[in-house]
Structure 1
Amino acid sequence: MSETAAPSDVSRYEQACDQAIAMCDGNMRSTIKALIMANEYLEAEMEQLQAAASTGRGAAKRLRAKDDAA
C-alpha cells in the first residue's frame, strides 16, 4: 500500500484485527486462515457479479438494438 491510513482508519483496523483474533480464540494462524478464506470467498463472489453484470449489459444492448430495429 502506498497511501498511509488516517488515524481513525488505523484504530478501526486495529479494532477489526482484535475482533478477528478474538473470534479465533487468540490463535493467529487460525485468524490468518479465516481471513484468507473470507477473501477468496469475496473474490469468487465479485467474479460472479462481474460476469452477471457483463451478461446483463449485453442483454440490454441486444434489447435496445431489437427495439431500434422495430
Structure 2
Amino acid sequence: MNGSTRSGRRRTKPTPDASVGSAREAFLALALHDAGRSTEAVQVALLALQDTLPLYGKVVGWYARDLGTAPHAQ
C-alpha cells in the first residue's frame, strides 16, 4: 500500500495525547517483544523516544530505522 490508506490519504504518525504521552507506542513495543518481534519492539520504542532527545534524537531515529536492515556483528 506504500504508506497510504485505501482512501488514498497518506498515513501519518499519530500525535501523542498530552495526557498519555507515548503510551500507545510503549504498549505496542511490549506486545511486539512478547510476540518474539524484539527488533520491531526496539524500533517502536526508540522512534517514540527520539522526539524527547534534543541532542541525539535525530541519530536515535536513524539508528532505529536502520535496525533489522543492516548486518550486525554477533
Query: What's the TM-score, normalizing by structure 2?
Result: 0.26
Larger Rg: 1
Query: What's the TM-score, normalizing by structure 1?
Result: 0.27
